[in-house]
């Protein structure tokens, strides 16, 4: 029942009434910057060039953490500099990146607990109206980065882990399709389970058995036809997954 998002949208529309507002998600786990970083990286790349993405998962609000605005693959992002853009950045570094310092862009009164509404929303609105990134503040060399576990190849084995679990219970790993080198029949191990080969879609597997396939994000995914792999396997983010080519 929090009115925070509604207030923030009001600020956006007050400053940029012609902007097209799109709700990406308001259901990310509170204060979970890592989940938000994954979400942002997966979502933003589908938007038209010049889209402004406002990402506010900001447990350090009011502290010395910076606020940044940058451009990645023609997508503008406004966010706290707390790791939220680190997966976007890890995939391809920002073409332009600035730290916020120009207080004349913020609301007249800035609270200590809601910079999303008081600083970032006004910034996003002005960028949508054509403000140049250089007017936000001085260049920032690099954003704060979370450590992203990368799947590692050793001989014919790739050692990775579950990056996130979606609401269907599908397990999305950090093993990239490219790392499989076209191998269509890897053996995937998770816990004590052994999954042979990749299928093309969810309905291809034997019922009640976990399957492996390439996800819509081009990564290795473990799923269950019409069921929750997470529940079946008792699996969660961070659990190891090994792939034998």
Nearest to a copy of itself of 112, 155 (CB atom): 112
Contact between 103 and a copy of itself (CB under 8 A)? Answer: no
Query: 19-27: which pairs have CB atoms within 8 A and are 24 or more residues apart?
Result: 19/125, 19/128, 19/129, 24/53
| Chain centroid to CA 82 | 13
Select the residue interacting with a copy of itself from 99, 153, 159, 166 (CB under 8 A): 166
Stretch that binds a copy of itself, among 59-67, 83-91, 94-102, 145-153 (CB under 8 A): 59-67
Q: Which of 58, 62, 6 shows the shortest CA–CA distance to 28?
A: 58
Stretch that binds a copy of itself, among 60-68, 90-98, 140-148, 153-161 (CB under 8 A): 60-68
Q: Are 116 and 106 in contact (CB under 8 A)?
A: no
Q: Are 171 and 229 in contact (CB under 8 A)?
A: yes
Stretch that binds a copy of itself, among 43-51, 66-74, 83-91, 151-159 (CB under 8 A): 43-51
| Nearest distance from C-beta of residue 134 to a copy of itself, angstroms | 26
Select the residue interacting with a copy of itself from 104, 108, 112, 207 (CB under 8 A): 112
Nearest to a copy of itself of 23, 141 (CB atom): 23
Contact between 28 and a copy of itself (CB under 8 A)? Answer: yes
| Nearest distance from C-beta of residue 244 to a copy of itself, angstroms | 22
Contact between 226 and a copy of itself (CB under 8 A)? Answer: yes
Select the residue interacting with a copy of itself from 6, 141, 147, 184 (CB under 8 A): 6
Transcribe 119-165 into DSSP letters. Answer: IIHHHHHHHHTT--GGGTSSB-S-------PPPEEETTEEEEEEEEE
Please name every residue paired with 77 in a beta bridge, in sequence order, or none if there are none: 53, 70
CA distance 165 to 55: 21
Token reading at 70: 């940058």
Interface contacts to a copy of itself, rule CB under 8 A: 1-11, 13-14, 17, 20-25, 27-32, 35-36, 38-39, 42-48, 51, 59-63, 111-114, 117-118, 164, 166-168, 200-204, 213-216, 218, 221, 223, 226
């Amino acid at each position: 029942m929090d009115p925070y998002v509604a207030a923030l949208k009001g600020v956006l529309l007050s400053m940029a009434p012609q902007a097209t507002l799109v709700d990406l998600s308001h259901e990310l786990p509170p204060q979970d910057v890592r989940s938000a970083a994954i979400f942002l990286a997966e979502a933003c790349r589908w938007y038209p060039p010049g889209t402004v993405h406002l990402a506010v998962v900001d447990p350090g609000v009011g502290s010395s953490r910076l606020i940044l605005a940058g451009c990645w693959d023609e997508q503008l992002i406004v966010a706290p500099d707390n790791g939220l853009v680190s997966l976007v950045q890890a995939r391809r570094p920002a073409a332009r990146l600035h730290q916020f310092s120009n207080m004349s862009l913020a609301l007249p009164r800035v609270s200590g607990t809601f910079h999303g509404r008081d600083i970032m929303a006004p910034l996003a609105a002005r960028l949508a109206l054509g403000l140049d990134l250089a007017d936000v503040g001085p260049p920032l060399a690099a954003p704060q980065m979370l450590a992203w576990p990368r799947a590692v190849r050793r001989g014919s084995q790739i050692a990775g882990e579950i990056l996130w679990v979606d609401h269907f219970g599908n397990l999305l790993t950090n093993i990239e399709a490219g790392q499989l080198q076209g191998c269509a029949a890897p053996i995937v191990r998770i816990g004590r389970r052994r999954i042979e080969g990749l299928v093309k879609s969810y309905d291809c597997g034997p019922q009640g058995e976990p399957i492996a396939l390439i996800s819509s994000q081009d990564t290795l995914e473990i799923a269950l036809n019409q069921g929750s792999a997470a529940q079946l396997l008792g699996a969660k983010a961070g659990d190891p997954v090994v792939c034998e080519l």
